[in-house]
Chains A and B, each alone.
Chain A
Amino acid sequence: MIKLIEKIEGEAKLNFNFKEGKIDFVDIEFMSTRNIENILRGKNAFDALVINPRVCGICGHAHLIATVQALESCYSNLKLSNKAKIIRELTLNFELIQNHFKWFYLTMLPLFGHKQEILKATYPSQLMGKAIAIFGGQYPHTSYAVVGGVVCEITEIDIIKLQHYMAETLKFVEENLVKTKSENFLTCEDADALLDYEGDLPDILRQIKKENLLEYGKSYDRFISFGHNSYFKKGKSLKAKITHNISVLHVKESEMPSSFAKNVSFKDKYYEVGPLARAMVNKTPLIADAHKKYGDSIFSRILARVCEISQLLQHSKELIKDLDLSEKSYIEPSIDISKLSSSGYSAVEAARGTLIHKVEIENGMIKNYEIITPTQWNLSGGTKDKHGVSQKAMIGLSDVKTAELVFKSFDVCSVCTTH
């Protein structure tokens, strides 16, 4: 049975194979591509800073940050101020947060039989958009991070404005998502205790428990995360055993016969990326507890994503304290890009997981560009003897509706996948 899955920033086709009333195999097909990698070839390297945010409307900023870091890695002695690093990290955090609000209120709620909450999605995500715009001039699609730093100069007044947007977002979380002081939510280490709270998140988690959905969405219990910064650690987690020593060099992309999306594996194995992966690698107590009790299920996946909103707001508050406004925002690179022939790569944590950009430049022109998006990780697969992460999570379910819920619990983005 073929089902068109919609409203995942585009569409995909899931071809379900049933055996004895249970899903035996799912073929995932993306029906189009936009060829961004080809568009980039032959262009000036810096133009990638303008083109790449257009890979995706909802996580374009992650693509900007990945681009700028990939280009910077082509230089051998580039200097960045701490201030620029912090500002970039802040805006990336804000993008993740806006994504999570939209995913929870627009995509997830309806799958649990609730009404889509458009205003609950747009109000806080607009605040985060404003926060990015203070630095970037606009959101979506800014190109404010350039090789050498960021183009903006920030004053105390900007910081004050920013803090107001963050406080208002936090207030929204405390009045809607989890109705408690965020300190309580952030220090809670017991996933079951969370079920006693009021709010849209506990409501959904309770519903999962009540409707016996706790076993749904389990996959390999194998997680990976590459985009480390002051908050996220790099590493992999295999049945909760964590290793930090991993290299992007072992990440491989391969073509998929039935789809425009390419497979992605690490040492020939498929891994889950995203908030749950990050929380596992970071050993976030609440998520580790959910994982201990309910495994890599939709319960843990939803909790991890929504929980990241509060964590990133909290961490951003700390980051602002470290900002030294007297530092430079931008330090001009010592060589002009037109004199540079080199290659480099970057890994960034985007809303949906690890995003990798690889670039090769010749005299400042792009010779080759490769993008590996988070959804590619989670949706890789294709063969019956080697299921991808989301494929495996859907196998054994008895109806297509639940499979769609499991599928969408990965926060699938068709636009990114078909870059």
Chain B
Amino acid sequence: MKKKMRVLWLSAIACNGNTHSFLNYPYMEQFLDDFEFIYHPVIDSEYSLEDIVSKEITCDILLIEGAISKEFKRADVSVVDIIEKYSKIVQKIVTVGTCATFGGIFRESGYEETSGLHFDKEEPLKTHKDLLDKTISVSGCPVHPEVLVNTLYAIKKSAALKLDNFLRPKEFYAYTVHNGCTRNEYFEYKVDNHRFGELEGCMFYDHGCQAPFTHGSCNKILWNEVNSKTRAGVPCMGCTEPTFPRQNLFSTKKNMAIPENLPVGVGKRVYLTLAGISKAFKIDRLEKKLIDD
């Protein structure tokens, strides 16, 4: 019989969004054949939360969901103490979602020194440095189920995942969310007439789309296997990044009519030159409706 990997899913200051995103993993049966939860916030487990905090139960992977503060408790024990106890015995720690990775929305919860496990927004933390080698971060608010599950399988296989500066597997986070959006042509040719409720137009120019500088696979591995925010017409909010949530999410911050944040690696001057050329195209097809005319 093949050995199942034992996983502890610990929720810190969270909305359980990652928990429910995980429940959307389509091949759950297979997953549960290969992994077992010693504790999970909704899936039945052999141990209770009280067992988890009072005993030391053998475990291979610690998953942390939610922002972390020593003031925040589960079953009357500080989540930091629970993390410290299990981090010594597990092979790997995975910070699941943006809160556990960078602090996310609940960084502002008002608990003392709330942050991610290794980062407070972009800032690397001094605490838990000894765990850096053990940690993989899968950011996202929530994390995409496939990103989480396949990272766990990579751990099971002992595959060497290449990580970026924020400990995120490059296989998922080397892409930008912009890559694969159905609105790409409008971006390329600087057709900036996006309106909500339409199939046409790119949301980068006016409606705050952060996809060109957000690392993630949202437009590559679609959500719920069918769609992505930007394809549907919701601007990417940059939820995989340490900066999430920025303020004024539905509009684009500009300096002299140029978006303040440019695509990863693009300089302002180059962008201006490029924009000038692209705009000169005036492509009729992109000025018109896609379907009805």
- A residues near B (Cβ < 8 Å) are 4, 6-7, 9-11, 31-35, 38-39, 43-44, 46-47, 49-51, 53-58, 60, 84, 102, 106-107, 110, 116, 118-119, 121-122, 125-126, 129-130, 132-144, 146, 148-153, 155, 161, 328-330, 332, 415
Contacts and interface: CB of A to CB of B under 8 A. Distances in A.
Contacts of B14: 57, 415
A130 B225 contact: yes
Contact of A122 (B24, B74, B76): B24
Contact of A60 (B15, B198, B224): B15
A141 B196 CA distance: 18
B105 A39 contact: yes
A302 to B, nearest CB: 18
Interface stretch (B152-160, B227-235, B275-283): B227-235
B196 A57 contact: no
A136 to B, nearest CB: 6
B177 to A, nearest CB: 11
A133 B197 contact: no
B20 A134 contact: no
A9 B41 CA distance: 6
A54 B196 contact: no
A172 to B, nearest CB: 15
B184 interface: no
B226 A161 contact: yes
Nearest to A38: B110
* Most chain A Cβ neighbours within 10 Å, of B198, B218, B250: B250
A68 to B, nearest CB: 12
B44 to A, nearest CB: 4
B15 to A, nearest CB: 5
Contact of B227 (A11, A138, A149): A138
A146 B15 contact: no
A57 to B, nearest CB: 3
Nearest to B248: A44
Contacts of A57: 14-21, 142
A51 B198 contact: no
Nearest to B26: A126
Interface residues of B, number: 62
Contacts of B141: 54, 141
A152 B203 CA distance: 13
B32 interface: yes
Nearest to B144: A138
Given A34-B109, A137-B230, 6 more contacts: A35-B108, A39-B106, A121-B23, A122-B28, A146-B196, A151-B234
A34 B29 CA distance: 33
A130 B224 contact: yes
B227 A153 contact: no
Contacts of A142: 229, 232, 234
Contacts of B6: none
Contacts of B82: none
A133 B226 contact: yes
Given A6-B48, A151-B233, A415-B16, A11 B74 contact: yes
B73 interface: yes
Given A54-B15, A140-B142, A39 B197 contact: no
A55 B291 CA distance: 37
Nearest to B74: A11
A121 B247 CA distance: 36
Interface in B225-254: 225-234, 237, 239, 245, 247-250
A320 to B, nearest CB: 17
Contact of B232 (A53, A55, A125, A152): A152
Nearest to B29: A119
Contacts of B234: 136-137, 142-144, 151
A387 to B, nearest CB: 26
Interface string B1-42: 000000000010111111111011110110010000000011
20 contacts: A4-B48, A4-B50, A7-B41, A32-B72, A34-B13, A46-B249, A47-B249, A53-B17, A54-B15, A56-B17, A57-B17, A57-B20, A118-B43, A122-B28, A133-B223, A137-B232, A139-B24, A140-B20, A151-B196, A332-B195
Contacts of A139: 24, 223-224
